[in-house]
Amino acid sequence: MFRHFNTLSPSDFKQFERFMHSPFFGSHRDTLRLFEDLANYYPDLDRPELDRVSVYARLFPDKPYDDGHLRTLRKYLLQQLYRFFIQAELADSVLMQQSLKLQALAKRDLDADFMSNLNKERRQLKAFPYRNADYFLGQFQLENSALVFGYTTSRWAQKDQEVLIHALDHFYLAEKLRFCCSIMNVRNVFSKEGEIPLLDEILKYCKSQEHKLPSIVTAYYHLLSLSTAEEPKVHYEALRHLAHETFDQFPPDDWVNIYSALINHCNHLYRTGELNYLREMFDLYQEMLERNLLLEGGKLATNNYKNITTLGLRLGEYRWTETFIQDYKEKIDPEFQEGVYNYNMAHFYAYQAKYSQALKHLQQIDFIDPFYRMSYNMLLLKIYYECNEIEALLALCESFRAFVRHKQALSKTHQLAYINFAKFTRALFRLKIGIDKKPEKLKVKIENCEVLIERQWILEKLESIQAAT
């Protein structure tokens, strides 16, 4: 009944209490009584005392239960909560406050106050820490207020017209390109296609006007071009330059988008055989750690924890990687912390051929992030391969393939990559123990396989078999 109020932190709830008692916002008397009854039980809002009948009996002890009346009061209380949300969001948006204040002054014909505040807000806007889409939206809103005011006072200058138009263009371009990047990411994952209106025209415009555009627009232009251009290297290098030269101009969210796209691009190139991009990915993750871009609410995502560990191990950075695993363990969500930590320690030991220690850590895993389960199975397959565990390896190959096929959250391409890994690991093992005798034939199949995860590991093991025969 009161699930919306569970989203309020203790400090938010105190602020909402002041909001409800404020005469300006005028809470209905019975709505206020409903809130006060609710406040007596916060934060435990799932107690049986808060069922509908009990609440109504406390509010109206002399009346029979009226569900329609209670629903109406609850609706009024919810409307007040929504109004509180609006006020809270507005309090955090300084640029929106500035725009609304100027609109109010213009409507009331307070010319002197309007001009004084317009000049003040322009100075404050220049002091805004970022030059991102929000900045250009704020600039447009300020100059649009000046436009409306200028029509009645004849004070709108040519210079102001140009600022307004450019601000609107820059806001639109930054947001359009940012959304296009998100759309392209989703389409790449799920292998979907479709036309994006005006995209070709916007890309052509950005290419021809790049030297005139603000950094936020050029950043998203290059970001989008990573997946659409014939020569993505130019755009990759441009983004790396922007990351070093303009870092302070964008907020963390934009840089997370940019760095994540750069890492995905490097990963794609690495999987196609450009092995030098492994070090690039590692460097990008290290920059994100140094710039505090990977912690959200003080927590490190489990996939980033694993990705960084894997990169460090592949590059032979064992000391750095062990320190990272230990230092960031407490940054993992407590629900997954022990499982994720033990998996990555197992990976750390397996990379150094310390298989018994790796298995000890894997045996300590009671629960793990569902998406870690595939990596867990792959690591276990590798250990079984190295330790010549015939029955365990063959059984796991079959169960792993079945598990992946039922993982509907994965695209067909990703499913096939994992299934092929299990298939080729089984084929390698048959070669290793002497059941099959044709490594050259298997090598051709591996090299011709378009979708395969851990291709490098499989080829290295095949080379070891060939060298031993």
Residue with tokens 């109010």: 104
Q: Can you tell me the distance from the alpha carbon of 412 to that of 9, in angstroms, rounded to the nearest whole number? A: 41
Between residues 431 and 227, the one the model is more confident about: 431
CA atoms of 335 and 333, how far apart (whole Å): 5
Q: What are phi and psi of 81, to 5 degrees?
A: -65, -40
Predicted confidence (pLDDT) per residue in 240-263, tens digit = 999 999 999 999 999 999 999 999
Amino acid identity for residue 96 in this structure:
M
**What would the mean pLDDT of 4-31 be, rounded to a whole number?**
90
> pLDDT above 70 covers what percent of the chain?
96
pLDDT band at 275 (very low <50, low <70, confident <90, very high): confident
Q: Which of 49-63, 90-104, 278-292 has the lowest mean pLDDT?
A: 90-104
Q: Which residues of 381-410 are buried (b: 16+ CB within 10 A; e: fewer)?
A: bbbbbeeebeeebeebbeebbebbeeeeeb
Of 215, 175, 179, residue with least CA distance to 196: 179
Other C-beta atoms within 10 Å of 367: how many?
11
Query: pLDDT at position 26, please?
Result: 79
Q: What is the DSSP string of 372-389?
A: HHHHHHHHHHHHHHHTT-
pLDDT band (50, 70, 90) for residue 332: very high
Q: Is the pLDDT of residue 79 over 80?
A: yes
Each residue's pLDDT tens digit, 156-196 = 556 667 889 999 999 999 999 999 988 887 776 555 677 78
- Spatial CB neighbours of 247, under 8 Å, sequence gap ≥ 6: 255, 291
Instruction: For the chain, give the percent of residues with pLDDT over 90.
Output: 70
* 43: preceding bond cis by omega (within 30 degrees): yes
Residue 381 · residue 355 · CB < 8 Å: no
- How many Å apart are CA 434 and CA 288, to the nearest integer? 47
The per-residue pLDDT for range 377-430, each reduced to its tens digit, is 999 999 999 999 999 999 999 999 999 988 877 888 889 999 999 999 999 999
Which pLDDT belongs to residue 191? 56
Sign of CA dihedral 396, 397, 399, 403: positive
What is the arithmetic mean of pLDDT over 78-87?
Answer: 94
DSSP letter, residue 295? E
Checking if the pLDDT of 23 tops 70, the result is yes
Enter the tokens of residue 272.
Answer: 């196609």
**Residue 61 confidence (pLDDT):** 94
> 390 near 414, Cβ under 8 Å?
no
468 pLDDT tier (thresholds 50, 70, 90):
confident
How high is the mean pLDDT of the chain? 90
- pLDDT bracket for residue 367 (50, 70, 90): confident
Please state, as a whole number, how many other Cβ atoms lie within 10 Å of the Cβ of residue 414. Answer: 16
Residue 358 has pLDDT above 60, yes or no: yes
- Is residue 155 pLDDT above 70, yes or no? no
Please give the sequence-ordered ranges of beta strands (E in DSSP) within 320-435, or none if there are none.
none
Instruction: Give the residue carrying structure tokens 């080829």.
Output: 459
pLDDT digits (tens, 9 = 90+) for 103-149: 899 888 898 999 999 999 999 899 999 999 999 999 998 888 888 77
Per-residue pLDDT, 92: 87
d(CA 408, CA 406): 6
Lowest model confidence (mean pLDDT) among 81-85, 148-152, 158-162, 353-357: 148-152
pLDDT surpassing 70 at residue 151: no
The one-letter amino acid at 205: Y
* Full-model pTM: 0.76
- With vertex at residue 319, the alpha carbon angle to CA 313 and CA 320, rounded to the nearest 5 degrees, is 75
User: Could you tell me where the beta strands, DSSP code E, fall in 81-226?
Assistant: none
Phi, psi (rounded to 5 degrees) for 296: -120, 115
3 state SS of 55 = helix
Backbone angles phi, psi at 295, to 5 degrees: -95, 125
pLDDT, mean of residues 89-95: 87
Neighbouring C-beta atoms of residue 347, cutoff 10 Å: 23
Structural tokens at position 339: 């499982």
Is pLDDT above 60 for 362? yes
Token look-up 């900045």 returns 135
Residue 1 — very low, low, confident or very high, per pLDDT cuts 50/70/90? low
